[in-house]
Amino acid sequence: MTIAAQLQARQKASVAGGVGTRGIFAEKAENAELWDVEGKRYIDFAAGIAVNNTGHRHPKVMQAVQEQAARFTHTCFHVAPYEGYVRLAERLNAIAPTGAENRTMLVTTGAEAVENAVKIARAYTKRSAIVAFSGAFHGRTMLGMALTGKVSPYKKNFGPFPAEIYHAIFPNTYMGVSVEDSIRALETLFAADVDPERVAAFIVEPVQGEGGFNVAPSEFLVRLREIADRYGILLIADEVQAGMARTGRMFGFEHAGVKPDIVTMAKGLAGGFPLSAVTGRAEVMNAAHTGGLGGTYAGNPLAVAAANAVLDVIEEEGLCERAAMVGERITSRLRAIADRQGMECIGDVRGLGAMVAFELVEDRASKAAAPDLTNRIVAEAEKRGLILLSCGTRANVVRILAPLTIGEETLAEGLDILEASIEAACSTMGAA
């Protein structure tokens, strides 16, 4: 029995069945490469789900954590605060694209950041309703699931969910849902289900993550900002997956030139260490009463040190520009594959910066989802040494989240494996 098989057996006997995993048991990782317990090497096009934007174990991040560990690892910021937290708050205040003076709080996970953003929005507006969008993903807590616009696997069997959460349609160019369709649906929601003057906030991803890497059109975000201003509604930018240089800008909202009131961050913020942040306009962030925000592990010193190092790396290594280049390489390669005869199973290639995906269909005319083919491509890539992830409300999208620090040769090798995996998987269904 292999080491991996032994670990799988131990996992089955010890870990809750609802915790979904892959068959890769990690032994070590470096930048964009990972080795399993059997010694097999993988190119990592998942980056821990957009966490390792600066790669696995970036030397500057690791050094910062080691230096912090030599001083102290935990005090609880509420008991004995520390300079690193304050410095990170100052830096996030300076870069968050609200166009105003900002304030920041730190927590641990993306779901926590979202929940606190909602708390703050309700405290500031004295309103209770929140509007999210179809296809959204905002976390696995009860409120996070309520906000999420994708049932399986996130919401299935876990209700009832908190009240006062509403969903409008997110635009989807590929599926024929226009900005006008989305705005009309929002207006219908206001007429039929919730008074806009009772809505505390809109929460929206600039690029939907689990929903299928659907990019929010700039016009949509502009219109949303206008509607929010008209009714005194706050606009929360969920930048958990799209933020920290992933899209070619520090934050996805910057592409549209739209200024949110609150920004949530996590994933790529701390280079593999658990940390999230809520940054927003000072008057909004200060609305909650003293003691109303926080948590025992919120702003852990090791994770804070890592995040300060990540911000240094993004600036020093030009990772926003690097993301644009990496994304262009990936997108061009995928479009070239899609244009070949026999590759009609690729219905769409889309993304922003280095947040790229392709959608698999039975045929381009009907656009019928091909989830089985999607799974075969992911599995074939894994066999060949490439880690990929699927997503999408129809489970038919493959997303690519290579570390922004990936080397040229490694990126080229990964794209070669991706192309071969697509060809192999499509050939089994007679599509190539």
Query: Looking at the 3D structure of the chain, how many domains does it have?
Result: 2
> How far apart are the C-alpha atoms of 417 and 422, rounded to whole Å?
9
Q: Averaged over 222-237, what is the pLDDT?
A: 98
At 341, is the pLDDT very low, low, confident or very high (cuts 50, 70, 90)? confident
User: Is residue 66 included in any domain, yes or no?
Assistant: no
Q: What is the pLDDT of residue 431?
A: 42
Angle at 318 between CA 316 and CA 225, to 5 degrees: 115
**Pair (279, 383) in one structural domain:** no
CATH code at position 156: 3.40.640.10
Last residue of a domain, one of 316, 340, 361: 316
Per-residue pLDDT tens over the stretch 93-111: 999 999 999 999 999 999 9
Per-residue pLDDT tens over the stretch 162-174: 999 999 999 999 9
Q: What is the pLDDT of residue 432?
A: 43
Q: Averaged over 357-383, what is the pLDDT?
A: 97
**pLDDT of 428 strictly over 90:** no
Tokens of 53: 């934007």
**pLDDT of 376 strictly over 90:** yes
Last residue of a domain, one of 282, 316, 350: 316
Q: What is the pLDDT of residue 152?
A: 86
**Pair (204, 299) in one structural domain:** yes
Q: Averaged over 21-40, what is the pLDDT?
A: 96
**Pair (239, 107) in one structural domain:** yes
Question: Mean pLDDT of all residues in the chain?
Answer: 97
What's the domain range around 327? 3-57+318-427
Nearest alpha-carbon partner for 261 in 94, 86, 87, 103 = 103
**pLDDT of 178 strictly over 70:** yes
**Pair (322, 289) in one structural domain:** no
What pTM was computed for the model?
0.97
Q: Averaged over 2-19, what is the pLDDT?
A: 95
At 409, is the pLDDT very low, low, confident or very high (cuts 50, 70, 90)? very high
User: Is residue 336 included in any domain, yes or no?
Assistant: yes
Last residue of a domain, one of 316, 351, 373: 316
**Pair (371, 406) in one structural domain:** yes
Angle at 276 between CA 275 and CA 279, to 5 degrees: 145
**Pair (184, 40) in one structural domain:** no
**Pair (324, 276) in one structural domain:** no
Q: What is the pLDDT of residue 430?
A: 53
